Amino acid sequence: MSSDTSVLDVSHLDAGYGELQVLSDVDLRVDPGEYVAVVGPNGAGKSTAMKAVFGLADRLDGSITFEGTDITALPPEAVIREGMSYVPQSGNVFPSLTVAENLRLGAYILDDPPEERREAVFERFPVLAERLDESAGTLSGGQQQMLAMGCALVLDPELLLLDEPSAGLAPDLVDEMFDRIDAINEGGTAVLMVEQNAKEALRRCDRGYVLAQGENRYEGSGDDLLDDEEVRRQFLGG
């Protein structure tokens, strides 16, 4: 256990939606500046794990600690104030709001959002600066994903939760998206990413978890998991 030093420590977590339990006894850990990927088949509970950490799914048992603070009972609107941002897989921008309004709500919890944070987002995603007054619903899938990340990064979070960032992107944009995530992580932000594209995610991350049927199956460095015979056979298609 390293709850003293880790950014996020999920311990023995049971979670789900009302009566429906999806996760049982899940452990996840993210150390400062670390890039952690969670992979596994459809329905493994990967997205539920993210939602449970952020407070959008019901935590039934276990504990979630963020930078030493117990956040197990906190709703999303409180979790974000602890210094963690979450980019959902779909519905991650407000389609009828403009790009500028979306970014403004990204910094909603700050009384006086520093202008340089917005500038930093534009530096990372220049296309957003060009389309400030357009409604987010008119952006392409890739641009919406950038806007969603921009909204999360405006807060300069300690930890960024990404749910399937490559989902729905054209194949040639997937690599670009992973490069951007690498860059965010190299800037010092810890990343916890759920990904369907398991091979690419494990290749990029520092450490990975394999989740199946709502339980931890394997844990290790990305390279070790990629090399593991069992993981390859069961989860990476040989």
Partner 1 sequence: MGLAQNVVFGLVTGSYIAIAAIGFTLIYGIVNMINFAYGEFITIGAFVGILASGTLSLPLPIAALVAMVGGGLVSLVLARGFFTPINHTGPVPLLLTSIGLGLALRNAVRLVAGRGARYFDTSATTYRFEGLPDLPVGSVDLLGNLFVTSLQLVVVGSAVAVFLLLYTLLTRTDVGIAMRALADDEDLARVRGIDTQRVRDSVWMLAGVLAGLAGVLIGIQTNVSAGIGFSFVLQILAAAILGGAGSPYGAIAGSYVIGLVLALSTAFLPSGMTGISSAIAFLVLVIVLLVKPSGIAGREVREA
Please give the residue ranges that form the binding site for partner 1 (CB under 8 A). Answer: 54-56, 75-77, 80-81, 86, 88, 91-97, 101, 104-106, 108-109, 151
User: CA 233 to CA 207: how far, in whole Å?
Assistant: 19
* Gap between the Cα atoms of 148 and 25, Å rounded: 30
154 vs 231 by CB, closer to partner 1: 154
Radius of gyration of the chain (CA): 17
CB of 110 to partner 1, least distance (A): 9
Nearer to partner 1, 56 or 226 (CB): 56
192 closest CA partner among 29, 62, 48 = 29
CA 44/CA 211 separation, integer angstroms: 6
Distance in angstroms (rounded) separating the CA atoms of residues 63 and 44: 20
Q: Which is nearer to partner 1, 33 or 76 (CB)?
A: 76
The contacts found for 75-79 with CB under 8 angstroms, 24 or more apart, are 79/53, 79/54, 79/55
Both tokens assigned to 99: 């790009």
Please report how close the Cβ of residue 94 comes to partner 1 at its closest, in angstroms. 4
Residue 149 Cβ, how far from partner 1 at the closest point, in Å?
13
The smaller minimum CB distance to partner 1, of residues 78 and 170, is found at 78
Least distance from partner 1 to the Cβ atom of residue 170, Å: 24
Smallest distance from partner 1 to CB 192, Å: 15
CA distance linking residue 45 with residue 42, whole number of Å: 8
In the complex with partner 1, the residue whose CB is nearer, 108 or 233, is 108
